[in-house]
């Protein structure tokens, strides 16, 4: 990844379902879409560990 654009491209490769949602306001996303967006936001910062209150991916 190189810079913010590279991070976004990499994340969209991992979560292709987000691409059609890019133009939508976050408040209009479904609960599952909002959870995916939150996880993507966490991944964008390049963490070594992410802890979630529920199992991922959801069953």
Q: Are 39 and 50 in contact (CB under 8 A)?
A: yes
Instruction: Report, as an integer, the average pLDDT of 14-40.
Output: 84
DSSP string, 12-55: HHH-GGGGGGTTS-GGGS-HHHHHHHHHHHHHHT--S----SS-
The model's pTM is 0.59
CA atoms within 13 A on the CB side of 25: 2
Given a cut of 50, whether residue 1 has pLDDT beyond it is no
Residue 2 is predicted with a pLDDT of 57
Nearest residue to 13 via CA among 35, 44, 38, 42:
44
Predicted confidence (pLDDT) at residue 18 exceeds the cutoff of 80: yes
Domain parsing of the chain, residue ranges: 3-44
């Amino acid at each position: 990844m190189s810079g913010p654009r590279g991070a976004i491209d990499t994340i969209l490769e991992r979560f292709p379902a987000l691409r059609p949602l890019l133009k939508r306001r976050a408040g209009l996303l479904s609960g599952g879409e909002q959870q995916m967006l939150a996880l993507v936001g966490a991944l964008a910062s390049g963490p070594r560990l992410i802890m979630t209150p529920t199992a991922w991916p959801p069953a």
